Structure 1
Amino acid sequence: MRKWLITTAVLGALAAPSFVFAADAAPASDFTASYNVGLFSQYIFRGLTQTNNKPALQGGFDVSHKSGLYIGGWASNVSWLRDNAGTSLAPVYSSGGSLEIDLYGGFKTEVQGIGIDLGALQYYYPGARNVGFDKANTTELYGALSYGWLQAKISGVVSKDAWGFGKKYNAGTNGDDERGTYYAELNANIPLADTGITALLHVGRQEFNQARASYSSPDASYTDWKVGLTKGFDGGVNIGAFYTDTNISTANAAANWTYANKNIGDSTGTVFVQKTF
Structure 2
Amino acid sequence: MRKSLITVAVLGALSASSFVFAAEKEAKSDFTTSGSVGLFSQYIFRGLTQTDRDPALQGNFDINHSSGLYLGMWGSNISWLRDIYSTTALGYGREQDTVYKSGGNLEIDVYGGFKSEIGKTGLGIDLGALQYYYPGTERGRDQGWAKANTTEIYGALSYGWLQAKYSHVVSKDAWGFGKYSGQDKDAKGTYYAELNATVPIGELIGGGPLKGLTGIAHYGKQEFDNDAALGFPSYEDYKVGLSNTFDNGVVLGAFWTDTKGTRDSAWTYNGRNIGKETGTVFLQKTF
TM-score range relative to shorter protein:
0.7 to 0.9
SS in 1 for 2:62: strand
Paired residue for 1:232, among 234, 245, 249? 245
Q: Could you list the runs of 5+ residues in structure 1 that have no partner in the other structure?
A: 1-15
After superposition, the CA RMSD in angstroms is 2.1
Cα shift readout 1:241-273 (whole Å, capped 9, x = no counterpart):
0000001253x2x1x212332110000000001
Q: Which residue does 2:189 correspond to in 1? A: 180
Q: Which residue does 1:272 correspond to in 2? A: 282
The CA distance in 2 between the partners of 1:154 and 1:215, in whole Å, is 22
TM-score by length of 2: 0.82
Q: Report the CA distance shift for 1:108/1:215 in structure 2 as closer, same or farther (over 3 A).
A: closer
SS in 1 for 2:243: strand
Paired residue for 2:129, among 97, 120, 130? 120
TM-fit CA distance, 1:64: 1.0
TM-fit CA distance, 1:34: 1.0
Matches for 1:35-184 after TM superposition, within 5 Å? 35-84=35-84, 85=86, 86-88=88-90, 91-93=98-100, 95-111=102-118, 112-128=121-137, 129-130=139-140, 131=142, 132-167=144-179, 169-170=181-182, 175-184=184-193
**Alignment size in residue pairs:** 253
TM-fit CA distance, 1:95: 4.6
TM-fit CA distance, 1:17: 10
The CA distance in 1 between the partners of 2:89 and 2:247, in whole Å, is 46
Paired residue for 1:260, among 251, 270, 274? 270
Q: Report the CA distance shift for 1:105/1:95 in structure 2 as closer, same or farther (over 3 A).
A: closer
Contact 1:180 1:209 in 2 (8 A): yes
Paired residue for 1:203, among 213, 219, 225? 219
Q: Could you list the runs of 5+ residues in structure 2 that have no partner in the other structure?
A: 1-9, 92-96
Amino acid in the other structure paired with 2:147: K
Q: Which residue does 1:4 correspond to in 2? A: none
TM-fit CA distance, 1:168: 5.0
Amino acid in the other structure paired with 2:242: L
The CA distance in 2 between the partners of 1:126 and 1:71, in whole Å, is 20
Q: Percent identity?
A: 61
Amino acid in the other structure paired with 2:90: S
